[in-house]
Structure 1
Amino acid sequence: MTSQGSGGKATALFHAYRAVTALIAPFAYRKVAAKLAAQGVSPQRQRERLGHASQPRPTLPSDAPLIWFHGASVGESLAAITLINRLAEKRSDARFLLTSGTATSAAMAETRLPKGAIHQFAPLDAAGPVRRFLDHWRPDAGIFVESELWPVTLSAAHKRGTRLALVNARLSDRSVRSWQKRAATARFILSRFDLLLSQNDHMAQNLISLGADTARVQPGGNLKAGAAALPVDAAVVEALRSDVGARPVWIASSTHDGEEETILAAHRTLLYRFPDLCLVLIPRHPERSDKVAELIRDAELTFARRSKGEAITPQTQVYLADTLGELGTFYALSPLVFLGGSLRPIGGHNPFEVAQAGAAVITGPGTSNFTETFPPLIAAGGAVEVQDAPQLAHAVQHWLDDPKALQTACTAASGFAKSQAQELDGVADLLIDRLGLGAKGTHPDA
């Protein structure tokens, strides 16, 4: 039996939420199904959002667990796959189910999940879909990544005896303030978890302030440190390098609205010092590429677009890499990467992907999602922080002028990523212990 925790009974707010979600589930499904359909997801797979499985539950040896992971989108799912790989090494007889909510994460899972692991779209957080999902899959443990606190799902899984963990726990300050206004409900939901592993001490204290049991809250580092390196298409890299030739290249990756103007201004400055310099500009969301293209035109820079099959020529000053799934390939072009989502208060993006690719990192100050990562990475010499276009241009120029300094920074970034990844074995061991996933599949408090 699963432990009941100290969160008390479900609150009136929880019961109201459960009733409302049951009523609106058919309407919510129409919306999410239409979005999935627009992205090429089949009708059968769309119905997974209603809890209708599209695959059978795997047949397991009597003592082997089915371990369910959930991550909202690509980043969380990649972190989940990191742990799946670690746990598979320790429990080779276990089977793994990964759920997520987006078509892009589903496509990624198809290529990155280990053999035998299954991906399904997550059920809507409503009684009917959740019941059908749990009836079919009957997971022994559920591991939620980062910030997905679905009350109906967590309550129903806990009630059935599924031991639950929240890993890489991350809630924005805004979310924390919102939950603090609903303290009793927050305490009830967090008490469904047997273990809560936060990204850092600050987040651990936030969880405790919301009513989480201090004995169940521990810092667990950032799972993204142990993710496999991004895939690289060697043939594409060779073709791009042929197009670029001997020109110097720098990369601005995962950029958001309001950041490209700063990056393009820095690039214009750099062109005075390096007239043949090429910028590979990679928007976080390729659907913004038309707007980004217009910004490049406004900056009076010449460019080519990846999505249109346009090649880099000697006259190309900016290569707009507006496609999905090729980030690792682009990182292979240059060891000098500015990582977006950081010049504005967005929270930053995963620096481990850059470091694993052998590159050094330039970041803005807005990295609240990685407060446990960027300060020590900067202290180690693997990253530098900039505030504006002049500072960004200066940082790029410094590393282009001093290849030895750039190589030292790349080595520092890679070493930092490797040291962080080694800590994940301890996370896997802790999950096995707290979720009762040991060799005999027994629960400590059974």
Structure 2
Amino acid sequence: MRLSVVRRPPLVNSLPLPMTLRVYRSLSSAMVPLAPAFINRRLKLGKEDPARVSERRGVSADVRPVGPLVWIHGASVGEVLASAALVEQLRALNLRILLTSGTVTSAAVVAKRFPPDVIHQYVPYDSPRYVARFLDHWRPSLALFIESDLWPNLILSSAARRVPMVLINGRMSPRSFPRWRRVSGTISALLGRFELCLAQSETDADRFSTLGCPNVVTTGNLKLDVPAPPADQAKLERLMAMTRGRPVVIAASTHPGEDEMLAEAHKILAGYFPNLLTVIVPRHPDRGEAIARMVEASGLHASLRSREELPTAATDIYVADTMGELGLFYRLSPIVFMGGSLVEHGGQNPIEAVKLGASIVHGPHVFNFGDVYEALDQAGGARKADTQEALVKQLGQLLADPRAREVSLKAAERVVERLGGALDRTMIALEPYLLQLRLEMGAANA
């Protein structure tokens, strides 16, 4: 893939805000007195970290490091992980990194998989007051927003302070694009504040350009360059010992509505593969107990990892409701069903599973990674299952035929290699900004 650029008129920082954004700013300011009640509700739901809730108001106990600071923002786990290789490249240039996200699960991933010198903060609630506190404290030198998590006050306030902003790994889904077109003045006023948009595909680039990005470059999908997730070797060996001799299917990052279909598929497949073990790894681990109850109610036996249970000979479905262990389970089986695809969630990233040697099965709803799945399907590197019956058929064929698994995996690996390289293209596109930061570091050290 070559770098392709779509240029548009200059930034619109000086233009008046549309009425929608002026109303939004007023309302978000007026809602500040309700913030404590909102935060308390989220705390009860487990959606906030009680020890760090002040960060949501722009208050931090951490000290800003000396020198240039690159701020990277992603909504949740997927976006944070997409930045991992980029973070390493920036650290190699001796740049300090501030990484913000909005979910407890993403914070746990940062703590587990990122170097300790990467500063993580919860992104402040999008009130002008909270955003101002955040920016006053951190004073970022460069802001990199991942994909499409566009908070108006965060963007407008950063632009007003002349923080250079770049949208990286930009994605505009087929569902979001027509919605934004209906409020083109609003989205144009936001996207026009970005100096550069690095889009995942030509289609994404065209959409961002149409919506008002002044300078768009197609660099590819950073998630294709994400390294395979790690695994605890001792835990892996123990699991392999407990499952030795059994055919195993992994259902990764499942969403509500899929677990029941997988349990039913297991029943049918177990008639042909009597020792079959299905491992369900829910996208949100707090659903583990409910999944286990559903499995037991269906007449199957479940074991729950959060209870520190291991799969026994009697276990039909192992519910892996823990954080940060997908790398462990991808290594356990050569067959992976990618969740979020039998329901209209849009699918999950299959690349990590491919890199760890898995044959991929997925449902019809994969618009979050449409280009990737299309390439995999066309090359024979993944199998699409539109219905539960098709799911049983595709899994059954892979369970029965090791040669088919090998052919599928080799095809998938070729696709991943061909589509990769987004990290290098992203670094090339960011070079003018990084050069400026290095000059600032040199001047400070002179």
What does residue range 297-376 of structure 1 map to in structure 2 within 5 Å? 297-376=296-375
1:149 aligned partner: 150
Q: In 2, are the aligned partners of 1:25 and 1:124 still within 8 Å (CA)?
A: no
Once the two structures are superposed, what CA deviation does each residue of 1:114-160 show, in whole Å capped at 9, x if it has no partner?
34221111111111111111111111110111121111111111111
Q: In 2, are the aligned partners of 1:67 and 1:96 still within 8 Å (CA)?
A: yes
Which one is further off, 432-441 or 9-18?
Answer: 432-441
Matched, 1:128 2:129: yes
1:294 aligned partner: 293
With over 3 angstroms needed to count, the CA separation of the structure-2 counterparts of 1:40 and 1:70, relative to structure 1, is closer
Superposition RMSD on alpha carbons, in Å? 2.3
Which one is further off, 292-301 or 278-287?
Answer: 292-301
1:228 aligned partner: 227
2:60 aligned partner: 53
1:203 aligned partner: 204
Which one is further off, 101-110 or 21-30?
Answer: 21-30
Once the two structures are superposed, what CA deviation does each residue of 1:336-386 show, in whole Å capped at 9, x if it has no partner?
000011112210001112112221211111000101211112233321111
Once residues 47 and 210 of structure 2 are traced to their aligned partners in structure 1, the CA distance between those partners, rounded to angstroms, is: 42
Once the two structures are superposed, what CA deviation does each residue of 1:39-98 show, in whole Å capped at 9, x if it has no partner?
5976562111111122111112xxxx3110001111111112332123333xx2211100
Give unmatched runs, 5+ long, in structure 1. none
State the TM-score, normalized to the length of structure 1: 0.90
With over 3 angstroms needed to count, the CA separation of the structure-2 counterparts of 1:4 and 1:156, relative to structure 1, is farther
Q: In 1, are the aligned partners of 2:221 and 2:422 still within 8 Å (CA)?
A: no
Q: In 2, are the aligned partners of 1:82 and 1:224 still within 8 Å (CA)?
A: no
With over 3 angstroms needed to count, the CA separation of the structure-2 counterparts of 1:15 and 1:167, relative to structure 1, is same
Matched, 1:389 2:396: no
Give the share of equivalent positions with the same residue, in percent: 38
State the TM-score, normalized to the length of structure 2: 0.90
Once the two structures are TM-superposed, the CA of residue 21 in structure 1 deviates from its matched residue by 0.7
Once residues 115 and 258 of structure 1 are traced to their aligned partners in structure 2, the CA distance between those partners, rounded to angstroms, is: 37
Once the two structures are superposed, what CA deviation does each residue of 1:214-271 show, in whole Å capped at 9, x if it has no partner?
xx12223221112232121111111111211211111111111221232222222211
Matching residue's letter, 1:136? H
Matching residue's letter, 2:83? A
Give unmatched runs, 5+ long, in structure 2. 1-8, 442-446
With over 3 angstroms needed to count, the CA separation of the structure-2 counterparts of 1:438 and 1:421, relative to structure 1, is farther
With over 3 angstroms needed to count, the CA separation of the structure-2 counterparts of 1:130 and 1:436, relative to structure 1, is farther
With over 3 angstroms needed to count, the CA separation of the structure-2 counterparts of 1:248 and 1:401, relative to structure 1, is same
1:73 aligned partner: 76
Q: In 2, are the aligned partners of 1:36 and 1:103 still within 8 Å (CA)?
A: no
Once residues 26 and 436 of structure 1 are traced to their aligned partners in structure 2, the CA distance between those partners, rounded to angstroms, is: 43
Once residues 89 and 378 of structure 2 are traced to their aligned partners in structure 1, the CA distance between those partners, rounded to angstroms, is: 28
2:180 aligned partner: 179
2:11 aligned partner: 5
Q: In 2, are the aligned partners of 1:51 and 1:132 still within 8 Å (CA)?
A: yes
Once the two structures are superposed, what CA deviation does each residue of 1:286-318 show, in whole Å capped at 9, x if it has no partner?
222233223323432222222223332222221
Which one is further off, 295-304 or 277-286?
Answer: 295-304
Once the two structures are superposed, what CA deviation does each residue of 1:309-342 show, in whole Å capped at 9, x if it has no partner?
3332222221122222211111111010000111
Number of aligned pairs? 432
Once residues 173 and 255 of structure 2 are traced to their aligned partners in structure 1, the CA distance between those partners, rounded to angstroms, is: 19
1:84 aligned partner: 87
Matching residue's letter, 2:227? A
Once the two structures are superposed, what CA deviation does each residue of 1:182-233 show, in whole Å capped at 9, x if it has no partner?
22221111101011122222222222232222xx122232211122321211
Matching residue's letter, 1:126? S
Once residues 109 and 256 of structure 1 are traced to their aligned partners in structure 2, the CA distance between those partners, rounded to angstroms, is: 22
Q: In 2, are the aligned partners of 1:145 and 1:169 still within 8 Å (CA)?
A: yes
With over 3 angstroms needed to count, the CA separation of the structure-2 counterparts of 1:17 and 1:435, relative to structure 1, is farther
Q: In 1, are the aligned partners of 2:198 and 2:219 still within 8 Å (CA)?
A: yes
Q: Secondary structure at the match of 1:384?
A: strand
